[in-house]
Homo-oligomer: A and B are copies of this chain.
Amino acid sequence: MPLSFRSANVELYCLECRARYRPEPLLYKCRRCGSLLEAKVEPVEPVVFSGKGVWRYSSLLPTPMAGSEPVTLLEGQTPLIKAKRIAPRVEAYIKLEGSNPTGSFKDRGMAVAVTLGKAWGFWSAIAASTGNTAASAAAYTARAGMKCLVLLPRGKVAPGKLFQALLHGAIVAEIEESFDEAVRVAERAAWELRLYPLNSFNPWRLEGQKTIAYELFEQLGEEPDAVVVPVGNGGNIFAIWKGFAELKDLGLISNVPRMIGVQAEGASPLVKAWREGSDPVVEEPSTIATAIRIGRPVNYKRVLRAVRESRGALVSVADSMILEAQKALAAEEGIGVEPASAAPLAAYEMLVNEGVIDRGEKVVFVATGHALKDPSVPLHYRIHRVASIRDLARLLE
């Protein structure tokens, strides 16, 4: 049964070959060219932003008709914090996506995708994950009263994220292979077992994630010059670009910000593809930033498009720089993020030195997940044993 939307027209279309489709739950690849499909929502006029959660932007989202209640945990409306010390050559802001209900940006997309899955009548969903997707999928399906199966690469998920998936009642399954293989298995299982797929190839998730752009526009009162985003599977950078492109189409902003993607050196298939035109594949991705440890990003065409059309860039940073940036954000700004989320800041010096970002520009660094998401990184800090006030005094010297 086709879904009724509040918007006059919601369709799927192929950015590569321009084919257009009516929305269906398991339709996310173009039947002509095999590329991933995007959602296109004709806005409900007048475009009004009001209320809480991603549904604040319901006039620009695939909002189901009354009768199927939107799923929400009041995700979004996350803080945008002006940096005081860490990026002095630009006007820098940190977008704190770790303040979302499960501690990462994934919640925005899950709110929209799970709403549609529920409206389509699914009782079970599936998601492959490096951890954050699992936590978020588990929470939102729980909210919707759906079952959730999450598929994880064994031993490669931060324990807190695994704990979240279990706590929220998901059925947790591990495979011996990589995350990339888990995505393939999840995709096949969705078809064969008629499960609602919650990976980022699901175009409705990206509709939720694009609200980061709307929020940045509301918080700054205009568009920033550049947005710097950690890139793993690549859904988020594309979604933010799409959000800004839509604001431009609506005449609300004049320019789409330059989208700058940052990968970890050991897991940077997109940087290589961007520079050398090679296949976007790294066989054995390796980085301490587990949230972006991905060797075969399913959204690679989307990423390259967002970066190219916004005149942005794709760069990579070493793990040591990521840890340094994580420490600087926490100790100099008071902002705690997981390693992957520090990758954008780790690229700051290079981006300014190479002229990718100009002095004085308004730059948003997207911090995708909370520090508590991955506290297991071995930071060699000292914990002091004390027995007296004198011991304490010595520590302050």
User: What CA separation (Å) do A395 and B149 show in the bound complex?
Assistant: 8
Is A4 among interface residues, defined by CB-CB distance under 8 A?
A: no
**Looking at the complex, which of A6-14, A97-105, A294-302, A347-355 is the stretch in contact with chain B?**
A97-105
Question: Contact string, A372-383, partner B, CB cutoff 8 A, digits 1/0?
Answer: 110100010111
User: Which residue from chain B places its CB closest to the CB of A143 in the assembled complex?
Assistant: B334
* Selected contact of A74 from candidates B81, B185, B381, CB within 8 Å: B81
Chain A positions 303 through 337: 1 when the CB is less than 8 Å from some CB of chain B, otherwise 0: 00000000000000000000000110011111110
A167 touching B73 by the CB < 8 A rule? no
CB distance from A322 to the nearest CB of B (A): 13
A168 at the B interface (CB under 8 A): yes
A142 at the interface (CB under 8 A from B): yes
Contacts of A330 in B (CB 8 A): 139, 142, 167-169
The answer to whether B102 touches A99, judged by C-beta atoms less than 8 angstroms apart, is no
Contact of A175 among B74, B171, B379, B387 (CB under 8 A): B387
Q: What's the dominant secondary structure at chain A's contact region?
A: mixed
Query: How far in angstroms is the closest Cβ of chain B from A148?
Result: 10
B167 touches A336 (CB 8 A): yes
- B336 with A166: CB separation less than 8 A: no
Residues of B within 8 A of A103 (CB): 103, 370, 372
- Asked if residues B168 and A384 are in contact (CB atoms below 8 Å), the reply is no
CA distance A140 to B139 in the complex (A): 29
CB-CB nearest in chain B for A102: B336
Number of identical monomers bound together in the oligomeric complex: 2
Interface residues contributed by chain A, number (CB under 8 Å)? 77
Q: Does A273 contact B (CB under 8 A)?
A: no
Q: Are B385 and A173 in touch, CB under 8 angstroms?
A: yes
| Chain B CB within 10 A, most for which of A100, A185, A331, A373 | A331
Asked if B372 and A164 make an inter-chain contact with CB atoms under 8 angstroms apart, the answer reads yes
Chain B's closest residue to A329 (CB) is B167
Q: Chain B: which residue is nearest A383 at the CB level? A: B172
**In the complex, which residues of chain B have a beta carbon less than 8 angstroms from the beta carbon of A154?**
385
| Chain B residues closer than 8 Å to A392, beta-carbon distance | 126, 149, 151, 173, 185, 189, 193
Q: Is A23 an interface residue (CB 8 A)?
A: no
Of chain B, the residue at the smallest CB distance from A192 is B389
Alpha-carbon gap, A176 to B391, bound state (A) = 13
A329 CB to nearest chain B CB (Å): 9
- Given A160-B375, A166-B381, also A189-B331 (CB < 8 A): no
- 7 nearest CB pairs, A to B: A143-B334, A169-B331, A74-B79, A163-B375, A372-B372, A166-B381, A167-B330
Residues of A within 8 A of B (CB): 52-53, 73-74, 77, 79-81, 84, 96, 99-103, 124, 126, 135, 139-144, 147, 149, 151, 154, 159-160, 162-164, 166-169, 171-176, 185, 188-189, 192-193, 195, 326-327, 330-336, 370-373, 375, 379, 381-387, 389, 391-393, 395-396
